[in-house]
Amino acid sequence: MEESFDAEGSFDDASCLSSQSPGSTSPARRQTKEQEIKETKITINCVTFPVSTSTPEQQLLKPNEWSYCDYFWADKRDPQGATVPGFEVLLQKQLKGKHMQKEMAEFIRERIKIEEEYAKNLSKLSQSPLAAQEEGTLGDAWAQLKKSLTDEAEVHLKFSSKLQSEVEKPLLTFRGDNFKKDMKKYDHHISDLRKQLVSRYAAVEKARRALVDRQKDLEVKTQQLEIKLSNKTEEDIKKARRKSTQAGDDLMRCVDLYNQAQSKWFEEMVTSSLELERLEVERVEMIQQHLRQYTTLRHETDMFNQSTLEPVDQLLQSVDPGKDRELWVREHKTGELRPVDMDI
């Protein structure tokens, strides 16, 4: 399949399927027909395409949709120079999408670890004895601030848990281990049809060469008879003509089988590429849905974190230096009598 074939001498034109065998065509007419075919069609890697400069532009199967079924008919070369069928490019896209999905899940897993570690550190910090002896209204506000760290830690733990169940897990489990097996089935199916097409094309080429040989033999014998260079009878000429006609019939049959194989490959290519297109849309929409869930959970976390600070804000607004001073003095005062002057 890696060899490029041209259309010179190819009889895959519809006119080759007429009732008249190519073997019964005169050399001049046959040459004209071959030239017409060469100008309108080209065979690349055993697939026959129209020459764009000689035929009206083909209409897309799904115009304005950039559909897979319209843009992956030809083969391409990879960086190493190997031939890559268009359908293989679509399969590689599917496998790459599966890998990207896995990496996204790994990214979310790292985010979960960060949240869990953050919650652990917040909880640990909330138990710190630092400034625990602060008194009064300021002491109450400070104690509430430390307690808010415990509440915030709980918020982040819940966030990490929901990330695991509502984002990471769906990304990991969407299209499990059987997905690659399904892709291989598609690959083998289309590859088998392509191999059959290659085989049919080889048969066409073989039959075409056989026809050329038979027609050359007929021409030589006819010329020898005309100039009387041979004692061959007219019966030999008829025999050579029958063989030429049979070779033409064989070529028509091979072309018909080739066209049937190409038609089958074409139909399966359209069906399979549209299915891969549907799978890709499904994958993108699934990821979009769960990344939206990520942002929703993130907004909820911010909201819950804000709620843990509301009691702190309230107590901070109630901090009163005068009241704190009164409370402290009442508890720690050493005496209310002030010194006076000494009498003689």
- Non-local CB neighbours of 324 within 8 Å, separated by 6+ positions: 135, 136, 137, 138
For 175, left (φ over 0), alpha (ψ -120 to 50), or beta? left
Q: Name residue, tokens 């897993």.
A: 109
pLDDT tens digit sequence for 122-136: 999 999 999 999 999
Whose CA is closest to 185, among 91, 82, 261?
91
pLDDT tens digit sequence for 50-87: 987 666 778 999 999 999 999 999 999 999 999 999 99
Kindly report the pTM of this predicted structure.
0.78
Q: What's the helix, strand, coil split of the chain in %, to 5? A: 70, 5, 25
Spatial separation of the C-alpha atoms in residues 173 and 102, rounded to whole Å: 9
Q: Residue 223 — very low, low, confident or very high, per pLDDT cuts 50/70/90?
A: confident
Residue 35 has pLDDT above 90, yes or no: no
Q: What are phi and psi of 83, to 5 degrees?
A: -80, 130
Contact 72, 87 (CB under 8 A): yes
Structure tokens at 280: 């890709």
Whose CA is closest to 261, among 206, 313, 305, 198?
198
Spatial separation of the C-alpha atoms in residues 14 and 29, rounded to whole Å: 16
Spatial separation of the C-alpha atoms in residues 292 and 278, rounded to whole Å: 21
Q: Each residue of 89-112: b (16+ CB within 10 Å) or e? A: ebbebbeebeeebeebbeebbebb
Q: Averaged over 181-205, what is the pLDDT?
A: 96
DSSP three-state, residue 112: helix
